[in-house]
Amino acid sequence: MLTVKASAKSSPINGIGLFADEKISKGTIMWKYDPRFDISYSPEEVENFPPLQREQIDRYAYLSKVTGKYVYSMDDSRFTNHSSQNPNEDVVQFPNEPETCGVANRDIEAGEEILVNYRLFDAHDEKGEEPYLAS
């Protein structure tokens, strides 16, 4: 669940992205798992979904390296784009948290796109060869 004000908008990087609606200070936790807003599914559950719902999970959820479950966020955080070269969000595992958290690795200005390295938390993308992972 997002813990900062941010919204989905058209992105010059890819389709829709997540943009800060306020200045976010370095070290701020920007996202953390909340079962009221984030849904977890086992890979077996996803395999049994109808095709349309499985496509939704494939596109907008990530396969957690921590739990081995797909995590689907109901808020706009699912539109966060990838950057391996210039992410402004780090992935941090805190004690007593069921999933990794997203933390600002520098100050992020209002209007700036929020970017994270998918390889750090998504088991599918960790060794993926998809073109978007090269950016």
Nearest to 4 by CA among 18, 17, 22: 22
The torsion angles phi and psi of 107, rounded to 5 degrees, stand at -65, 140
State the pLDDT confidence band at 91, using cuts at 50, 70 and 90: very high
Domain annotation for the chain: domains and CATH numbers: 6-134 (2.170.270.10)
Q: What is the pTM of this model?
A: 0.92
State the pLDDT at residue 129. Answer: 77
pLDDT digits (tens, 9 = 90+) for 28-84: 999 999 999 999 999 999 999 999 999 999 999 999 999 999 999 999 999 999 999
Cα separation, 19 vs 30, whole angstroms: 12
